Amino acid sequence: MLPRLVKRKEPSQAMVYLTPVIALVLTLISGVLMFIMLGVPVGEALYAFFIEPLTTEYGLAELGVKATPLVLIGVALSLGFKANVWNIGAEGQLTFGAIAGGGVALLLYDVDSAIVLPLMIIAGIAGGMFWGAIPALLRTRFNSSEILTSLMLTYVATLFLSYLVHGPWRDPDGFNFPESRLFSDAATLPIIWEDTRLHVGAAMAVLVSVVAWVFLTRTLFGFQLKVIGSAPAAGRYTGFSEKRTIWLSLLIGGAAAGLAGTIEVSGPIGQLLPNISPGYGFTAIIVAFLGRLHPIGVLFAGLLMALSYLGGETAQITLNLPLAVTGVFQGMLLFFLLATDVLIIYRLQWPDSKGTRT
């Protein structure tokens, strides 16, 4: 017999924290089934995906490196999602931020000064904000769906980056490869864990989560953001217009994504390439939901999703599995999370043997 959904008297707080765990377990079970169907040894695959990356110093550091952009963007997106502003073009804002920040690095290539990095970061944030401002303007002035415009702008930003590294910004000594010069030392993020790639950006991501947490729980704006998302009419009474929410959500999202993009190119990558992100901007959407739109939750969710990237790479090397498995895992996790979230408002009622409802 199938269970029925019965509405709870009030939303279950316990389920808010439980459903990510349930979703994770369901994803793992489906993953096992998937590995069986692919004819991959299950034990080895799971080990390669979820354990092996965590057994080495290198792996742990890489986890931090990959979690950094996910956490930064995830935190910012959750602010917008709380207010029902769907910025799904963070990938484009990340790319444009990387173009702006990387542009400064190339411009100041010969300048060896401590000012270079701060300038890059400011430029990156501004670039991301600019790319986020376009859908905000189109939404508030022309009523155009920010979902579609921000997504279309992602393609535009990626093509623009491709143009730059194929054309004007191509490394003059790079044998015609589509890549910029390697950034100078002054334009490279300091490493905080010796002999690994873990850079100071990871610390920034943690800091941003904590700041966002304080901001959300201790300020009036945080409260307004929550109200306007759950009840727009009531939100207006708290003195906050929908327009301002849209602007703020997209600008904050753009700023964080732009920062993440600059961190990527000045940290682990060290130059501009046609492809600077394996979809961090999209995965950050999953991170935001998995982290319950809560800055600290996002921190943990970011680490978990970083593991899915890292595990994908490990499984590719050790088991010759395609990298696409990562996307499958990520998509399944979001499916299961959204599906089990029904348990926050509803509970399952199993019909008993007599067919009466308890």
Partner 1 sequence: MSTEVLVLTLLTIITAATPLLFAALGELITEKSGVLNLGVEGMILVGAVGSFGMVQYSGSAFLAIIVGMICSMLLALIFAFITLTLQATQVATGLALTIFGIGISALLGQDLVGVAYDGLPKVVIPMLSEIPIMGDLLFKHDALVYLSFAMVSAVSWFLYKSRAGLILRAVGDSHDAAHAIGYPVIRIRYMATLFGGAMSGIAGAYLSLAYSPMWVEGMSAGRGWIALALVVFATWRPMRALFGAYLFGGITILQLHGQAIGLSIPSQFMSMLPYVATIVVLVVISKDRNRIKLNAPACIGKPFRPTA
Residues at the interface with partner 1 (CB under 8 A):
5, 38, 86, 88, 138, 141-145, 147-149, 151-153, 155-156, 159-160, 162-163, 166-167, 282-283, 285-286, 289, 322-332, 334-335, 338-339, 341-342
Strand (E) or helix (H) holding 327: helix 324-340
Q: How far is Cα of residue 84 from the mean position of the Cα atoms in its chain?
A: 17
Pairing of strands 4-7, 346-349: antiparallel
Closest approach, Cβ 348 to partner 1, in A, equals 11
The answer to whether the CB of 39 falls within 8 A of the CB of 341 is: no
Closest approach, Cβ 164 to partner 1, in A, equals 9
Closest approach, Cβ 328 to partner 1, in A, equals 4
- Toward partner 1, which CB reaches closer, 166 or 244? 166
Amino acid occupying residue 192? I
Closest approach, Cβ 62 to partner 1, in A, equals 21
- Toward partner 1, which CB reaches closer, 52 or 341? 341
Is 263 strand, coil or helix?
A: helix
- Toward partner 1, which CB reaches closer, 174 or 278? 278
Q: SS3 string of 278-332?
A: CCHHHHHHHHHHHCCCCHHHHHHHHHHHHHHHHHHHHHHHHHCCCCHHHHHHHHH
Closest approach, Cβ 249 to partner 1, in A, equals 14
Instruction: Name the residue with tokens 């859908």.
Output: 135
Q: Which of 249, 344, 326 is nearest to 288 (CA)?
A: 249
- Toward partner 1, which CB reaches closer, 72 or 157? 157
Closest approach, Cβ 103 to partner 1, in A, equals 16
CA distance 208 to 229: 22
- Toward partner 1, which CB reaches closer, 64 or 312? 312
- Toward partner 1, which CB reaches closer, 91 or 202? 91
Please list, in sequence order, all residues whose beta carbon lies within 8 angstroms of the beta carbon of residue 133, skipping any fewer than 6 positions away. Answer: 247, 250, 251, 254
